[in-house]
Amino acid sequence: MKQSMTLIPTLREVPADAEIKSHQLLLRAGFMRQNSSGVYSFMPLGKKVLQKVEAIVREEMDNAGAVELLMPALQQAEFWQESGRWYTYGPELMRLKDRNNREFALGATHEEVVTSLVRDEVKSYKRLPLTVYQIQTKFRDEQRPRFGLLRGREFIMKDAYSFHANQESLDAVYENLYKAYSNVFSRCGLDFRAVIADSGAMGGKDTHEFMVLSEIGEDTIAYSDTSDYAANIEMAPVTVKYEKSSEELGSLEKVHTPGQKSIDDVASFLKTDASNLIKSLLFKVDEKYVLVLVRGDHEVNDIKVKNFYNAEIVELVDPNETKEVLGCAVGSLGPINIASYVEVIADLAVESMVNGISGANEEDYHYVNVNPDRDFNVANYIDLRFIQEGDPSPDGNGHIKFAKGIEVGHVFKLGTKYSEAMNATFLDENGRSQPMIMGCYGIGVSRTLAAVAEQFNDEKGLVWPTNLAPYQVHLIPVNMKDESQAELAEKLYGELKKQGMDVLMDDRHERAGVKFADSDLIGLPVRVTVGKKASDGIVEVKIRKTGEVLEMETVELVQKLKELLG
Ligand code: 9G3
């Protein structure tokens, strides 16, 4: 491809609202352009990388025995009404009406569509297992699109769905696709971890997220410092065994703590450690008020609360409503003499506290020598705190450390949530009608591209891995007005293409500095410069990743490039 023929609008300046490297560089190097918030055009270079990521995904999915199809983005509301999600999803699900006023959703995912498709076409256990996948545009009206392609409102996903007659079959396909995902992200050169995750609203129990380690990742991974245990922090169970101290139970006493609101304020005011305090937070769990207690130095993990109640909605009650319900402000809440319609649950650490401190449910007053069971009742003691660095790893090996991750893949064992809701059944070998058991598997394809850009760059620009670069060779005649340079470049362009190489030739009439700066920004793996020594048949080869520069006769060039490009 010649640059005079394509469209690579590079920018000198860093675009204002681009906060992270990949977003800045993909814009500056002309790989993409924003249309509206969270909605992008893939420019020619971006589109070529996208195709290379998709090719890797297709190869691995096909090898794993999945078959590709393509479902519509325009999805009739009826399907979502059958699954019930038409009513549970809010503005994130983009909806529209057609000319006959019929309601549609713009596809955020395809469980409903694929289940309706398979229920019509598959009736017998002999046709199972079946794994279908597509690579397609998804729409989710994110409240805060950010970080470019990492959280967009229109993005490209590979989504796969598997259908099974029994759990063993699902387990086998899940295992296969788990390996296929590992291959995809390894082939993209990404430093990733498969972590135990929370299935959220999707139902089912087993689920893993594939996380690319990155400081700008929105997810926190809890991993063991000595084993391969890794979990999304939302999921990681706490296995600490707490000991109850044998000290005497002091008598309950109300103390005046004027203006002391936060855990740290009260702890320093009463000259004690946060771990002696009981933190009380009022939650709404579906329709119920629940006072959740954790030790002062711990944090409530709302996902664990949600999973304990198997609730749809769990949210912290705002301070005003809290005051109405409990009769006092959030800074002095405690579990003693709580209204009977408020359920009290506590983290396991609270059960072992002796002579603790809690709010007195009275502005500016706290209790000291608070003892569970003697001074307040708890309906359930459960593991409901976030795991912390240094906690023992749940697998018993080593201790927990944290890392940030970008979720690029997510695999679920769905079970029969959708097949029951939508009556997707099959006749088993005894002729009995059974709901199909399902799995679903997603890869954020455009997000993976951004994760690669985030991992592979330096101070001059992008540094693409050879197998994902939009082109393999950047051929640069320094001065197009110089006959010998222009002719040699043209000759080499033809030769390299004949050798099957992906070549981008910078045939623009631009200054050398501009060409080299753009070349470093775009980040192709190898640059061939045709400069002053063109008339002697000498060219310069530069390796983008290492900056190494080699001079050689043009006759050696093809062989050398084949070596460098592997
Ligand atoms: C929606 C909207 C947003 C959503 C969903 C539905 C996430 C939704 C979870 C999944 C599960 C799997 C198939 C591929 C792998 C992931 N955000 N999820 O279902 F309507 Cl607006 O997408 N789907």
Of all protein residues, the one whose alpha carbon is nearest to atom 8 of ligand 1 is 109
What is the Cα gyration radius of the chain? 30
% of the chain beyond a pLDDT of 70: 100
Instruction: Give the strand pairing for 288-295 and 343-347.
Output: parallel
What is the residue whose two structure tokens read 């009739």?
Answer: 76
Tell me if 138 CB under 6 Å of ligand 1: no
Tokens of 319: 């301070």
- Name the closest-CA residue to atom 9, ligand 1: 202
Confidence at 557, pLDDT banded by 50, 70, 90 = very high
Going from the Cα of 40 to the center of ligand 1, the distance in angstroms, rounded, reads 20
Q: Is the CB of 93 under 6 A from ligand 1?
A: yes
Distance of CA 315 to the CA centre of its chain: 22
CATH number of 253-382: 3.90.960.10
Q: How high is the mean pLDDT of the chain?
A: 96
Distance 236 CA to ligand 1 centre (A): 22
408 lines ligand 1 (CB under 6 A): no
**Hey, what are 533's tokens?**
């020594």
Paired residues of 527 in beta bridges: 474, 542
Beta bridge partners of 346: 293, 381
Name the packing angle between helices 44-63 and 167-187 (round to 10°): 140
Name residue 157's beta-bridge partners: 136, 444
168 vs 439: CA distance, rounded Å:
12
The per-residue pLDDT for range 84-108, each reduced to its tens digit, is: 999 999 999 999 999 999 999 999 9
Q: Where in the chain is the domain with CATH 3.90.960.10?
A: 253-382
Q: In the CATH scheme, what architecture does the domain 473-565 have?
A: 3-Layer(aba) Sandwich (3.40)
Distance between CA atoms of residues 77 and 85, nearest Å: 10
- Please tell me the predicted confidence (pLDDT) of residue 465: 98
Intervals of CATH 3.40.50.800 along the chain? 473-565
- The DSSP line for 222-256 is EEESSSS-EEETTTPPP---PPPP-PPPPPPEEEE
Distance of CA 387 to CAs 199, 237, 346, Å?
A: 18, 7, 15
Phi first, then psi: give them for residue 127, nearest 5 degrees: -90, 5
Say how many Å lie between the CA of residue 66 and the centre of ligand 1.
Answer: 20
Q: Tokens 């996208």, residue? A: 50
Locate tokens 């850009």: which residue? 453
Q: State the Cα torsion 75-80-86-92 to the nearest 10°.
A: -50
* Total length of the chain: 566
- CB count within 10 Å of CB 219 equals 18
Could you identify the atom of ligand 1 that is nearest to the CA of residue 411?
15
**pLDDT score for 206:** 86
Confidence of residue 330 (pLDDT cuts 50, 70, 90): confident
Contact status, residue 553 vs residue 536, Cβ threshold 8 Å: no
Q: Going by CA atoms, what residue is nearest to atom 16 of ligand 1? A: 442
> Considering only CA atoms, which residue is closest to atom 19 of ligand 1?
109
Could you tell me where in the chain the CATH 3.30.930.10 domains are found? Answer: 16-190+412-453
CATH of domain 16-190+412-453: 3.30.930.10
Secondary structure letter of residue 376 according to DSSP: B
> By percentage, how much of the chain surpasses pLDDT 90?
96
Mean pLDDT of 36-59: 98
461, 29 contact by CB (below 8 A): yes
| Short-list 540, 163, 238, 166, CA closest to 390 | 238
Distance, CA of 240 to CA of 400 (rounded, Å): 12
pLDDT digit string, tens, across residues 513-551: 999 999 999 999 999 999 999 999 999 999 999 999 999
How does residue 485 score in pLDDT terms, banded at 50, 70 and 90? very high
The structure tokens listed for 10 are 């590079």
Whether residue 34 contacts residue 27, with contact meaning beta carbons closer than 8 Å, is answered with: yes
For residue 108, how far is its CA from the centre of ligand 1 (angstroms)?
6
| Element containing residue 520 per DSSP (H, E) | helix 512-522
pLDDT band at 199 (very low <50, low <70, confident <90, very high): confident
pLDDT in tens, 206-256: 899 999 999 999 999 999 999 999 999 999 999 999 999 999 999 999 999
